Every structure is written in C-alpha cells, then in structure tokens.
Amino acid sequence: MAGPMRPQIVLFGSSIIQMSFDNGGWGAILANLYTRKADIVLRGYSGWNSRRALEVLDEVFPKDAYVQPSLVIIYFGGNDSIHPHPSGLGPHVPIEEYKENMRKIANYLKSLSDHIRLIFLTSPPISEVQIKKKLSATQTGRTNEHCGIYARALLELCDEMNLKVVNLWSAIQEREDWLDVSFTDGVHLSAERSKVVLKEILRSLEKQIGSQVCIGCHYQLNMQKIHHITLQVQMEPPL
C-alpha cells in the first residue's frame, strides 16, 4: 500500500537551486530530511533570471495540475544583478523590473491554492576574487555589492507583500572567514555553507507552522535528523 498522497515541495530558481542537489547541497539534505514525508521537486535552471522565470511560470506550475505544491522555495536575483553588458545581451534585469517580476511570481504562485506556502531566498554574497580565478570572463560583471542591492530589494518586496524570505546575503556573511569557506567557485555554495541555507529555511518553516516543521504531512518529521543537522551548523567555529 502506497499510503496517503505526499505533499509536494518545489525548489524553483536558477543555479543556486539546480546545484542544491550536488554532494552536500541543501536541497539534497532537505530531501533526506523529508524522506517518506514529502516529495521534493527540483526545478532549477542555471543561468535563468526573473524575466525568464516569469515567461514560463504557467508551464512550470500549471493551474490545472492534479497536485499543487504545499511549499515553493524560490530563488532568482543573482543573475539579474549582473551588470549590464554593452551589447545589451546577458542576464541583467534592472532592479525595478526585477522587483515587479518577483511580485508577479509571488502572486501567481499564491493563486495556485489557498494553502500554498512560499519562501523566497535572497541573492547570497559572492567572492569576486574566486570568480576571476575560476569562472569565465562573462561572470566578471558580478559584484558582491550589487548582489546586496538586489537582496535588499527582495527583502523590501517581501516585507510589503507579507511574504517569508530568507536573507542569504547576510546569513552567509556572518562568519568572519566566509570568503574562505562559502563557495566552490565564487558563486555557488559549498557543502559547509549549504547547511546555513537549510538552517534558515527550517527556521522560517518553524515560524510558519510550528516545531514539527512538516508541510501538510500525515506523519511527523524525524526530529532527530533536524536536531542533528542543526547541531552541525551550530558547531561552526565562533565568530
């Protein structure tokens, strides 16, 4: 017997989402945490910005789908924040358009069901030095300052719309040595800092639905797993 239908958690965004299932990634840990409790659906698209996401939103999340997500975790902004290329090409999206795109994404997702929950992730910081060493010249238009500007824009929007948001730009930089331990290539997060993403997501969920941190589940989550993961994060060297 398969048992009752599981709630669906969708991770939707660009490469920070796509690569969240790499070894030690926060998406993989989340899937392990929700084993037999919820289906984690990965909808990660490297290189995408909020403009591209908006264009295909109804294809990724059709309104007539038999099962609608119980939770969607959304990340766009890092590619939007890349400085515009002189040719006019590239992923840059002006900040006001970015905010409007994210507003439309939020409104569309909220319309899917009365019970859907949303958590937005801001742009994390980046290491400009590491980018120059490891990534192509097309990535040099990224700056940590600009990531912060787009992160603050999303925070403002979520505050205005009363949406849950995780401030990755600040959370990742809390450690004094964040530049040394946070990235695989200057942009994408290391396994070590993926734990921070997970911790902040679980913290947001706990505020929304209580200590069991379970979206519409017929069972309780394995709280031992949660405490183990949280303990790992808390055991990081002090600032």
pLDDT score of 160 more than 70: yes
Is 58 annotated as catalytic? no
Give pLDDT tens digits for 96-106: 999 999 999 99
Per the model's pLDDT, the better-predicted residue between 136 and 222 turns out to be: 136
In this structure, of 20-24, 115-119, 199-203, the range with the lowest mean pLDDT score is 20-24
Would you state the CATH architecture of domain 8-234? 3-Layer(aba) Sandwich (3.40)
* Phi, psi of 74, deg, nearest 5: -120, 130
- Using an 8 Å Cβ cutoff, are 60 and 69 in contact? no
Q: Which of 182, 188, 194, 204 is catalytic?
A: 188
Q: Quick one: what percent of the chain has pLDDT higher than 90? A: 63
Is 185 annotated as catalytic? yes
Strands 117-121 and 164-166: parallel
Is 115 annotated as catalytic? no
Three-class DSSP category at 217: coil
Q: Which of 14, 20, 81, 123 is catalytic?
A: 14
DSSP for 112-179, written as a single string: T-SS-EEEEEPPPP--HHHHHHHS-GGGTT--HHHHHHHHHHHHHHHHHHT-EEE-HHHHHTTSTTHH
Give pLDDT tens digits for 64-92: 999 999 999 999 999 999 998 877 778 99
Residue 225: what pLDDT? Answer: 52
Q: If you average pLDDT over residues 103-123, what whole number do you get?
A: 97
pLDDT score of 114 more than 60: yes
Residue 28: what pLDDT? Answer: 93
Q: Which of 22, 170, 185, 190 is catalytic?
A: 185
Q: If you average pLDDT over residues 7-32, what whole number do you get?
A: 93
pLDDT score of 234 more than 50: no
Instruction: State both tokens at 218.
Output: 């017929």
Residue 163: what pLDDT? Answer: 97
Mean pLDDT of the chain: 85
